[in-house]
Structure 1
Amino acid sequence: MAIAIQEILTFLVLLVVIIVMLGLTTSFIVAFFGGGPFVPTPKRAVKEVLKHAKIKKGDVVIDIGAGDGRFLHYAEKLYGADAIGYEIDPFVYAIAILKKVFLGWKGKIIRGNFQNYSLRKADIIICYMLPSTLKKYQKKFDKELRKGCKVISYTFHIGTWKPIKEIEPDPILKTKRIYIYKVEKPAKKRTKKKIKSKKQ
């Protein structure tokens, strides 16, 4: 009996190890091709970022790389936001869903690349991505984000955009630089117009 229990425990441990290894391998592949690895933001930093976002109740807050959903959770819990997140990594997405269930929050997490979805309803965009990735996504931001939408980038600057405010790193809270941007023109006015040739 004791041997059988030991064998079962050994099997379960090996199963967990295999699942974790598969998850890490998947995460590595997604990070390599998707633009960056999953790096959990400390809870203090999450709260600091959201504080500077000045979220109002009912605001649509979108996290374009939601990770385990911590920004979404606190945006809803602390400010009553309508939180939506996109996560491409299936392993990290599964963690986010588990947290959502156990913590009992209503935020929506979608498994997939945010580039396949519209951002036009967003009041606030949260992003924590590498500069090269942000620069690549700037075109989508320019095309879809409506006037008044705020974009909060943690740690890294967004392409050619000029922030309306920069929050310096806080050594006590152990936060990194926070860039705050605000869309000043409607999306349709930021698209390039075709130049018509004049008839001579």
Structure 2
Amino acid sequence: MTDGSAARWNDNIHYHRRILDAVPPNARTALDVGTGNGLLAADLHRRIPQVTAIDTNASVLESARHEDQGVTWIHGDVKTHPFREAQYDVVASVATLHHLPDLDGAFARLAALTAPGGVVAVVGLARSSRPLDYALDVAGAVQHRRLARRFGLWEHSAPVVWPPPHTYAEVRRSAAHILPGSTWSRLAMWRYAVIWRKPV
């Protein structure tokens, strides 16, 4: 867990560390895509001076504003909002890409918003389709129960899409195609991570 989420735990907060560990040491700007309740944006702001967070849901964004008044909160759609391209040293997203049916388009948009030398860092949800996926689902269920008992489960108020429209295999293929050289990790607790450093 991170300092900003120390009093709260859920599967998404658990993997904030994946995002924070990918932040370049000289990062000055970050964008949190699909910020939801704003916890990742607040965690990023503890490391990065200028953080912008965007979400399509006005009510959940209103709760996010209370997390950190120093973050720039935007009610809008990342696909259509008039961001300047190559603007951010970090473009991050947790549990958002499965809300977007065009996976290739989503990865391409995140890449376009990332400055040369910057990082796209995604933790997402996908659907199991292979034996290894199902085995990790079982291990993840055990881990989830153990951690939820230890920390308590904090329920977010952001909209939920379940089951995810894309399989893990589809996400991995899309990331490899759109973000060549990206690293892929299949995580427990029904998550994956994609980290990509944009060439200078």
TM-score, normalised via structure 1 length: 0.57
C-alpha distance after superposition, 1:88-146 (max 9, x if no partner): 1111111111333xxxx511111112232224210111123126343223443455543
Tell me the distance in 2 between the aligned counterparts of 1:129 and 1:180.
14
C-alpha distance after superposition, 1:57-97 (max 9, x if no partner): 552110121111111101112x2342111111111111111
Superposition pairs of residues 75-114 of structure 1, within 5 angstroms: 75-77=44-46, 79-100=47-68, 105-114=69-78
Contact 2:90 2:114 in 1 (8 A): no
2:19 alignment counterpart: 49
Tell me the distance in 2 between the aligned counterparts of 1:106 and 1:57.
19
C-alpha distance after superposition, 1:21-79 (max 9, x if no partner): xxxxxxxxxxxxxxxxxxx853221123212x1343552110121111111101112x2
2:199 alignment counterpart: 184
Measured after TM superposition, the shift of residue 164 of structure 1 is 2.7
1:152–1:140 CA distance, 2 compared to 1 (3 A): same
Contact 2:91 2:113 in 1 (8 A): no
Contact 1:163 1:180 in 2 (8 A): no
Contact 1:61 1:123 in 2 (8 A): yes
1:74–1:135 CA distance, 2 compared to 1 (3 A): same
Q: Which of the two has greater helix per residue?
A: 1
Contact 1:84 1:109 in 2 (8 A): yes
Letter of the 1:87 counterpart: D
2:182 alignment counterpart: 164
Contact 1:123 1:150 in 2 (8 A): yes
Tell me the distance in 1 between the aligned counterparts of 2:61 and 2:186.
31
Percent identity over the alignment is 11
Q: Which of the two has greater strand per residue?
A: 2
Tell me the distance in 2 between the aligned counterparts of 1:68 and 1:113.
16
2:89 alignment counterpart: 123
Larger CA Rg, structure 1 vs 2: 1
**Any runs of at least 4 consecutive aligned residues in structure 1 with deviations exceeding 4 A, and if so which?**
141-144, 156-159
TM-score, normalised via structure 2 length: 0.57
1:134–1:126 CA distance, 2 compared to 1 (3 A): farther
